[in-house]
Structure 1
Amino acid sequence: MADLDKLWLWQEARKDYRREEERLHKNPTYFELKKAKKEILAVEATVEEHEKRLRELGEKLASAELRCTDLKNKIQLLSNRLYSGDTKNLKELAGLQQQVEVMKKELESTEEELLQQSIQHDELREQFSQIKAGLKEEKNRYRERLAAYNAWKSEVETNLGILQAECSRLETEVNPDLMRLYLEMTARYGDSVLARLENNLCTACRVRVPTLLTKELHQGYGLVRCENCGRILYWRN
């Protein structure tokens, strides 16, 4: 039966379509890329945080350096007054000496703070460089995988379009009553309503088909169904 030939081709094209569709939707690469993108965004947030901390530390360093310079200048000025000989008043001299000592202690403390901040800044900058380098590599890997995935996806979507068009074309060429019967039987048999006959066996249930039925099928006498599973048998010379 020509209609069965068309229906068989339609059934197989639809199976191919659904396999391709499942392959598209269940490809693990899609989920891996989503995870990789999420990880990249997390690292980018870390990079932004490091940049912010580096800026803040840089501002603190600049402020501490200015403070050190200012203290050194003030200490120099007070020392000049203290040892110039212009000041004779002992109380005033003692006051100048005390100011110098206070400023020297503040300078020592500020320089220690500056040293610690410099060390912290260098360590943070090294971490920042390593994270940025790692992020760059990860982005490159992600772009390569994404490009490969998109190329694969485009190919699958093209195949789906071809198969969809083939299914639509074949569906219009099958007898409507036969197609209606087929669709009713899908509730029980899914996408395998038609079963090929090979070596007198139903390929769906692997049960031998009686000789009388195989003859009817070979001679094209209407629809022949497997006595065991009930599927419509299909044979092509």
Structure 2
Amino acid sequence: MFALHAAIAKNLRGIVLLNPIEDKALDILRWLAKRFKYRDLGFTPSLSVKLKAYSGGFRSPFRELIYPSASFEKLVEVFAGKLQIPLELSELLIFSSIYISPAILIGESYKPYIESISCYTVKTCKDLTISDWKLHMRIVGYAILDFYEDSVEESLEAIRNPREYTSIIEKRRIRIAKDIRRYWRIAVIDGRSLLYYVDNLELAFKAGIREIESDWIASLSIVTIINITSDLARI
């Protein structure tokens, strides 16, 4: 499974989450597919089941992602239960980290949950062009990749030495605050939420996780979530 996971991750532009019955959600999904058709967009297993039941399936550039290891399914359930978030959102956070790929949130259904667990938010009041979307989706991809190695090493250190947790989280927050400067073209203090940073290590400690299975370190990175709504996409 890890070999297939590596092959998929290489060409993955982002991992999508949406509520299929939300107004305009599928329209935004089609908009996304049309404009980003040369790289794969992933669905987590739980979302894939929902989409197959609701819309009969999906075609390229979308593909169903897999659990690289069964142990991650347990972690997804722990996050969902302890943090009181939907299973599909928990899955998105874990998959975004293990695939080192940004999360793409479509619509409004999951925003209250994400806003409750995010540590930083980028807001905008700008009407984004297609070029803006493509640029900033590349940027969020760079961000999670740039964070990854340090994040994994820090997560391992925090699990081994829980007394270092507070200083490690502070270090990660400083890194995020610096990273936000990438969005100087569109960022404002007061506007619509466009991008969220979520620290999976911080969530793991909030969920009471102090001992982990060996695979789990890969899931405790900082993840980026870009939110595409009908007004921002002008649909």
- Whether these two folds match at TM > 0.5 is no
TM-score, with length taken from structure 1: 0.22
Larger strand percent: 2
Query: Structure 1 or 2: larger helix share?
Result: 1
Q: What TM-score, normalized by structure 2, do the two folds share?
A: 0.22
